[in-house]
Amino acid sequence: MELAQDLVQRIRGVIGAEAGFVPLHVPEFHGRERELLIDCIDTGWVSSVGSYVDAFEAEVARLSGCTHGVVVANGTAALQIAMLVAGVAPGDEVLMPALTFVATANATSHLGAVPHFVDSAYDTMGVCPTRLRAHLEQVAEVREGATWNRQTGRRIAAIVPMHVFGCPVDMDGLDAVVADWPMVVVEDAAESLGSTYHGRPCGSLGRIAAISFNGNKIVTTGGGGAIVTNDEALAKRAKHLTTTAKQPHPWAFIHDEVGYNYRMPNLNAALGVAQLEQLGDRLAQKQRLFDAYAAAFDGLSGAQLFTAPEGSVSNNWLVTLILDPDMAAQRDTLLKVLNDAGIMTRPIWTLMHRLPMYQDAPRADLTQAADLEARVLNIPSSAHLGAAL
């Protein structure tokens, strides 16, 4: 197949002819990881409290343009607690793109709330403000300062913009919709540490945000997540809830509500501190890789490199190709040829409403999301590929 062979050659021109399988995105440890992990072991501070937890919280917050950070066991837990402290209650609906990783919907379900799926935009791959407004005009009403779904009778408490593969959502467009349809904005910034929207870091664009440090993300703690916000009260409540809701006391075990043990161990936080020291270098390497792909795909026909819109800077977490509409039918053949050639290539996620547990969830018309679902591919994006260029 012509496009497939063309892509294999152009991608190999960037990542080299290195034998064996080139993964999509590997964790990389080029800093003080070993030193800080050994320090945890030598001092005995390996578990749920320690100086690396505090240092990591401060640094994640700073890099996200926020005053407060609370690190937790994973990004899914971060999303759940971010929504909880932002006011999402059991029985509420939470708007989110159908085109997201399943964690966004699962975290909502874990709260006893209901995911409500909306359409995506071609320019960002994230929530489409125009389509969102049209959908709300169809199904919702504002009563007593809140937005309600007229069809289900439930309150629409929040919207979760997710910055797909690091590309920021059109937040000006979204804020304009939310100005007319009151609800809290909880960012799913799991993939977008280091991305900026009109100079403002992802993670600081809503009321509160969740970040992931899973092994496949731009920096990793093995497993981990963070809640970041500029709202001190929300941060304090998130810290309290995620650490078993224990009142500070020299010896007594007084827990004042049903809390969660979502703490990030000091070992993982130590890894995170060392990783964040390399974030600047990593972003530069990933930009170099992106630029090399952009040059290599010059004149390509049949697919286009996805580029963040003017005013947005992506962290380039995963490099994305969008097939031309007439190539969509060949997606699976392309996936096979590229993977067989040792170039790990992945489709985007299956839309949430196609998964059995979310098939009956409320949803908007998802035409654009379905179109993107059929045409988006990710290709090898590890930072070290850019370091070699």
Ligand X SMILES: *Cc1c(COP(=O)(O)O)cnc(C)c1O
Q: With respect to ligand X, which residue has the nearer C-beta, 93 or 188?
A: 188
Q: Is residue 103 a contact point for ligand X (CB under 6 A)? A: yes
Give whichever of 14 and 376 is closer to ligand X, judged by the CB atom: 376
Question: In the complex with ligand X, which residue's Cβ is closer, 28 or 191?
Answer: 191
For residue 312, what are the CA distances in angstroms to 131, 170, 176, 220?
Answer: 21, 9, 18, 23
| Binder of ligand X out of 82, 190, 341, 372 (CB under 6 A) | 190
> Which range binds ligand X by CB under 6 A, 151-159, 175-183, 187-195, 361-369?
187-195
- Any contact of residue 225 with ligand X (CB under 6 A)? yes
Q: Does 352 bind ligand X (CB under 6 A)?
A: no
Please, which of residues 142-181 interact with ligand X by CB under 6 A? 162
Site string for ligand X, 45-84 (x = CB under 6 A): -----------------------------xxx--------
Residue with tokens 């995620």: 242
What stretches of the chain show up as alpha helix (H) in DSSP?
2-15, 33-43, 51-63, 75-85, 102-110, 129-139, 171-180, 232-242, 266-276, 279-296, 331-340, 367-375, 383-387
In the bound state with ligand X, the residue whose beta carbon lies nearer, of 4 and 125, is 125
- Nearest of 79, 88, 82, 68 to residue 231 by alpha carbon: 68
Closest CB 191 distance from ligand X, rounded Å: 5
From CA 189, how far away is CA 208, in angstroms rounded? 10
The catalytic site residues sit at 217
Token pair in block for residue 54? 């505090």
187 touching ligand X, by CB under 6 A:
no
Site size toward ligand X (CB under 6 A) is 14
For 185, phi then psi, to 5°, come to: -100, 115
CA distances from 173 to 46, 107, 290, 366 (A): 44, 25, 27, 18
Stretch of residues binding ligand X (CB under 6 A), selected from 95-103, 270-278, 321-329, 372-380: 95-103
Instruction: List interacting residues with ligand X (CB under 6 A).
Output: 74-76, 100-101, 103-104, 162, 188, 190-191, 212, 214, 225
